């Protein structure tokens, strides 16, 4: 037994040992730090840290090299590679470009060769509408659904390859084949170009009685290359031959593009009009009227004479130091087709704002050709307000990799637009809204693939409604400023504004392609009425762009497109606001069905308000009728029906 202490406690010498001490935790551990590791262990940890840093550096270098390679493939090879492309994506894109078929599971095989096309002379104007080239077909197949685009090198290049094509160039590859086939057909065999079923449809179209219908003037556009970059008329005799054909068809007048990049090309406020003066003199000989289009954008197409039209050279010189004068997408890529609306009030163009530059150009035109307007030769003046001369953001540039039916991208990332967005968000009291949507996809995305445009997406959230109201509001403000000065410069002349027809994704809830173009027109909102109220304020004639069967040959369920639905919404909204409406056909009319569709639009049947178009414009890229791209008799009859 253990001996007891006199006070009753056990003897310490015989008591059990105390329990082992535990490692202190919490704040107690700070007062008793652990012993430092041995010197050898410390050196090993430092070496491992250095190796980690070296590994990170090598990875960053590898990613930088990969990013530059992918950017080069996208920019110079036009490969639609995903934002986080890997080696499989690169191999698949290269294989597709070489004519191979690559399935999503990796199955790869050589595509079957297409039969060669017959000589162009074997095709009439109507059989040629279904032609496709193997290269064009393969290029369409190579653009997989939802292929995003990553950032490209943001350094400005002022060469011609950077100028984005217009929206109409979506079908330029297919259209070039058609133009070749139409070019060799003559007026003698044009009457034989229809089959029996087409002749029956033709007789049914012209069976209607148009003798008591309103008179609608018909205008045909002249080719772009008749004026060269030095503002000289290239071939006066060819122009006379073209006008002679038009006069024989009783066409009322012609449409002439006056390019800012030609007239004010070299020096600010030094305008050269000599070529247009000669052209208007020839048109006056044939007693035709002229609709002038003041084109403040560039064009990537070559007309006859090899003319490639860009913005003025002095503007491109400014852009070498300040790239933010151009529209910019989320990846920082600049669109050199037209100036950003963010500089409308910024004095960045040699001491002038964007609005002042437009006004000076319009005033110079009016002073130069005032007598022709007073004589009635110039019947209307169309003011270009955006990409391709249309009132829209350049949201679908083909040079950036866009392909139909991609939704496009918002164009609001230049410094001046971002400054405006920040001010709007600050005024609203939500500074964190001063940003573009980060889930809106890429140029070739589909609506349902994005978090912003999908059904129930962020486009209908509080932030989405704020951003889209601001984005479309910039468009409306640009219209108001330019047209206020246009009505002042032209002193009562008829002014025309062109509205695009962005009909793909129209049968979805968000109308994504319209939203990126600046028209806030989802299914629960009329996005065209605010624009038309502004146009009515300035007494503008509205021009609606319509596309022919050639453009809609790709229509399918994937695009949720509805060209007729959009056209009727736009026209009815314009008529409701008391606007005069006209139509421009951007592609040649090649069959009777197209003529019938235009007549139904120009003179709606059973309309109690008896609405009709104010005029019809026929626009194409090649000289009108000299290429024999339409049946003369059908076109002549169509003009008679339009005239009533």
pLDDT beyond 80 at 286: yes
Residue 22 reports pLDDT greater than 60: no
pLDDT-based confidence at 158, cuts 50/70/90?
very low
pLDDT at 207: 45
Task: Using the predicted structure, report yes or no on whether residue 156 has a pLDDT greater than 90.
Answer: no
Please name every residue paired with 302 in a beta bridge, in sequence order, or none if there are none.
Answer: 308
Query: Is 550 among the residues known to form the active site?
Result: no
Residue extents of the structural domains in the chain: 58-96, 213-643
Instruction: Please provide the CATH number assigned to the domain covering 213-643.
Output: 3.20.20.80
* Of 116 and 544, more confident: 544
**pLDDT confidence of residue 240:** 93
By CB atoms closer than 10 A (0-12, 13-18, 19+), residue 207 is: exposed
Chain centroid to CA 426: 30
Q: How confident is the model at residue 80, as a pLDDT?
A: 66
**Strand pairing class (289-295; 378-383):** parallel
pLDDT digits (tens, 9 = 90+) for 119-130: 433 333 333 333
Q: Residue 6 above 60 pLDDT?
A: no
Q: What are phi and psi of 528, to 5 degrees?
A: -95, -25
Burial (Cβ within 10 Å: 0-12, 13-18, ≥19) of residue 232 = middle
Q: Give the Cα separation of 426 and 433 in Å (integer).
A: 8
Active site residue 132: no
Give the residue with greater pLDDT, 556 vs 474: 474
Choose the catalytic residue: 390, 398, 550, 634. Answer: 390
List helix spans (H) across 158-306. 172-183, 187-190, 196-205, 236-248, 260-263, 274-285
Cα–Cα distance between 442 and 440 in angstroms, integer?
7
Question: What are the strands, taking DSSP E only, across 94-252?
Answer: 100-102, 108-110, 218-221
For position 203, what pLDDT does the model report? 45
Is residue 619 scored above 70 in pLDDT? yes
List CB contacts of 314: < 8 A, sequence separation 6 or more.
Answer: 266, 267, 268, 350
Q: Is the pLDDT of residue 167 over 60?
A: no
* H-type alpha helices, 491-517: 512-517
Q: What angle do CA 512, 518, 522 make, to 5 degrees?
A: 45
Indicate whether 311 pLDDT > 90: yes
pTM tops 0.75: no
Exposure of 599 by Cβ count < 10 A (0-12 exposed, 13-18 middle, 19+ buried)?
buried
Here the tokens at position 501 are: 């027809």
Q: What is the pLDDT of residue 102?
A: 75
**Cα distance between the two ends of the chain:** 132
Whole-number pLDDT of residue 48: 82
- Whether the CB-CB separation of 340 and 389 falls below 8 Å is answered with no
- Give the pLDDT score at 522: 95
Average pLDDT, the chain: 77
Q: Are strands 218-221 and 253-259 parallel, antiparallel or unpaired?
A: parallel
Per residue in 86-121, is it b (16+ CB within 10 Å) or e — as a string? Answer: eeebbebbebbbeebebeeeeeeeebeeeeeeeebe
Residue corresponding to tokens 């002349």: 493
356-388 pLDDT, tens digit each: 999 999 999 999 999 999 999 999 999 999 998
* pLDDT of amino acid 18: 55
Upper half-sphere CA count for residue 115 (Cβ side, 13 Å): 4
Binning pLDDT at 50, 70 and 90, where does residue 485 land? very high
Question: What share of the chain has pLDDT > 70, as a percent?
Answer: 70
Judge whether residue 133 has pLDDT over 60: no
* pLDDT tens digits along 58-112: 877 777 777 777 777 766 666 766 666 777 877 877 877 777 777 766 777 775 4
Higher pLDDT, 193 or 505: 505
Rg for the chain, CA atoms, rounded:
32
Predicted local distance difference test score (pLDDT) of residue 75: 63
Evaluate if residue 193 carries a pLDDT over 60. Answer: no
pLDDT tens column, 403-416: 999 999 999 999 99
Beta-ladder partners of 382: 293, 496
User: Considering the chain, what percentage of its residues have pLDDT values greater than 90?
Assistant: 49
As a whole number of angstroms, the distance between CA 272 and CA 267 comes to: 10
The pLDDT tens digits for 25-70 are 444 444 455 556 666 666 778 788 888 878 877 877 777 777 777 7
Bridge partners of 327? 335
Per-residue model confidence as pLDDT tens digits over 535-577: 999 999 999 987 644 344 445 567 899 888 898 899 999 999 9
d(CA 93, CA 107): 14
274, pLDDT greater than 90: yes
Structure token pair of residue 286: 């044939």
Angle at 499 between CA 496 and CA 512, to 5 degrees: 165
Identify the active-site residue in 331, 514, 584, 634.
584
Output the pLDDT for position 596: 78
In the predicted model, is pLDDT for residue 136 greater than 50? no
């Amino acid at each position: 037994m253990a001996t007891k202490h006199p006070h009753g406690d056990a003897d310490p010498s015989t008591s059990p040992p105390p329990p082992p001490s535990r490692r202190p935790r919490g704040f107690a551990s700070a007062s008793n730090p652990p012993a430092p590791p041995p010197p050898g262990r410390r050196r090993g940890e430092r070496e491992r840290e250095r190796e980690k840093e070296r590994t990170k550096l090598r990875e960053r270098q590898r990613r930088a090299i990969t990013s530059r390679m992918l950017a080069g493939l996208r920019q110079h090879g036009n490969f639609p590679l995903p934002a986080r492309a890997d080696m499989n994506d690169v191999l698949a894109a290269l294989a597709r470009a070489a004519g191979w078929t690559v399935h999503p599971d990796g199955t790869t095989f050589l595509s079957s060769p297409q039969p060669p096309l017959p000589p162009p002379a074997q095709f009439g104007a109507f059989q040629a509408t279904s032609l496709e080239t193997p290269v064009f077909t393969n290029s369409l197949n190579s653009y997989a659904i939802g292929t995003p685009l990553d950032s490209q090198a943001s350094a400005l290049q002022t060469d011609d390859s950077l100028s984005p094509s217009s929206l109409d160039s979506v079908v330029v590859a297919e259209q070039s084949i058609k133009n070749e086939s139409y070019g060799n057909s003559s007026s003698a065999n044009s009457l034989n170009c229809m089959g029996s079923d087409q002749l029956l449809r033709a007789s049914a179209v012209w069976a209607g009685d148009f003798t008591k219908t309103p008179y609608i003037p018909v205008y045909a556009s002249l080719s772009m290359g008749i004026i060269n970059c030095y503002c000289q008329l290239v071939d006066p005799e060819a122009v006379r031959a073209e006008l002679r054909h038009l006069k024989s068809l009783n066409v009322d007048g012609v449409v002439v593009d006056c390019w800012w990049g030609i007239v004010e090309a070299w020096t600010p406020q030094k305008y050269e009009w000599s070529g247009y003066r000669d052209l208007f003199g020839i048109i006056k000989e044939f007693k035709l009227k002229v609709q002038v289009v003041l084109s403040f954008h560039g064009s990537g197409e070559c007309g006859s004479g090899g003319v490639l039209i860009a913005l003025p050279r002095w503007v491109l010189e400014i852009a070498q130091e300040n790239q933010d004068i151009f529209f910019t997408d989320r990846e920082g890529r600049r669109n050199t087709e037209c100036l950003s609306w963010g500089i409308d009030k910024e004095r960045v163009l040699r001491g002038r704002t964007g609005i002042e530059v437009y006004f000076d150009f319009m005033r110079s035109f009016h002073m130069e050709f005032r007598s022709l307007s007073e004589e009635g030769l110039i019947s209307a003046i169309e003011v270009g307000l955006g990409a391709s001369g249309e009132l829209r953001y350049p949201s679908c540039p083909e040079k950036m990799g866009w392909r139909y039916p991609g939704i496009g991208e918002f164009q609001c990332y230049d410094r001046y637009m971002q400054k405006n967005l920040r001010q709007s968000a600050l005024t609203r009291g939500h500074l964190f809204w001063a940003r573009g949507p980060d889930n809106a996809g890429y140029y070739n995305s589909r609506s349902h693939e994005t978090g912003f445009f999908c059904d129930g997406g962020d486009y209908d959230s509080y932030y989405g409604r704020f951003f889209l109201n601001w984005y479309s509001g910039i468009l409306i403000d640009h219209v108001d400023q330019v047209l206020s000065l246009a009505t002042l410069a032209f002193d009562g002349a008829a002014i025309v504004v062109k509205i695009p027809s962005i009909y793909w994704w129209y049968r979805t809830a968000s109308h994504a392609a319209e939203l990126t173009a600046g028209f806030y027109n989802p299914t629960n909102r009329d996005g065209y009425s605010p624009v038309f109220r502004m146009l009515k304020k300035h007494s503008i004639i509205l021009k609606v762009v319509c596309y022919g069967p050639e453009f809609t040959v790709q229509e399918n369920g994937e695009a949720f497109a509805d060209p007729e639905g959009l056209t009727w919404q736009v026209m009815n909204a314009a008529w409701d606001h008391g606007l005069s409406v006209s139509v421009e056909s951007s592609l040649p009319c090649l069959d009777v069905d197209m003529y019938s569709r235009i007549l139904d639009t120009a003179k709606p049947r059973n309309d109690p308000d008896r609405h009709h178009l104010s005029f019809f414009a026929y626009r194409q890229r090649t000289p009108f009728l000299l290429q024999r791209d339409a049946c003369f008799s059908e076109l002549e009859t169509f003009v008679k029906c339009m005239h009533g």
